[in-house]
Structure 1
């Protein structure tokens, strides 16, 4: 079985990587780079999976009690917990920003559709509006 210190160090490395990735995600969201956001989301899923797997390995380790007894390991575990907590907060903020961006996109899309609908709007003999999608395109000269 792996040395507990190595597992804890690997956990710290992954937590720091996730923190950095969330910062990159925030920048990608503000620049509205959808391909970058998608790639980062996949990387986040991989890192979260690694964090969970390593957490299980640590929990099953025969010397898991030394996490509380060993001062160095205890400090690293506290640091990991703090980083993960910060990551959770950053992920919530990024999620809210993505929701706002999606809402803005939907509003813009609706405005575009309404605007497009008004371009082809005509009135019939009874004065009622009538939308014609072929307005001016079926003229034969």
Structure 2
């Protein structure tokens, strides 16, 4: 476990870079509609977010936390970390919107399939009333 605040900041930076790369992978998986990969990435992303939260807590409660505002190198690292966090938030929002659009497209397509399936199963009874019959032609015994 890192001892100094600088080491914690470096670890936080590396973890955020990993998250940034994972978000790029997620974007590719969404574009290519790789559902298994999207699920795997979601689990990995959650794990990284938990790790980032733990690291953030360690930094906030560290005995040397005053260096975050007093030391120029630490201040630069914090600024860099905040920039990466902002990029990750933006990328995650874009990926979320893309997933929502993909889900909406899937539901529309599914509804079209269900409607077309319903039309092909429609028939008329002896009184001329339309009926959906799922067993049309399947109960014939020859």
TM-score normalized with structure 2 length: 0.96
> What residue number does 1:92 align with?
93
2:8 corresponds to 1:7: yes
Correspondence for 1:27: 28
Mapping of residues 1-141 of structure 1, within 5 Å? 2-141=3-142
What is the Cα deviation at residue 126 of structure 1? 2.2
Q: What are structure 1's unaligned runs of at least 5 residues?
A: none
Per-residue deviation at 1:135? Answer: 1.1
Summarize deviations over 1:66-117 as a string: whole Å, max 9, x none: 1111111111110000000110111011001000101111111111111111
Give the drift of 1:140.
2.1
Distance 1:124 1:21 in 2: 58
- Write out the 4+ residue segments of structure 1 that deviate beyond 6 Å after TM superposition: none
Residues of 1 paired with 2:78 and 2:128: CA distance? Answer: 74
Give the distance between the partners of 2:69 and 2:127, measured in 1 at CA. 83
Shift of 1:3: 1.0
How far, CA to CA, are the matches of 1:74 and 1:126 in structure 2? 83
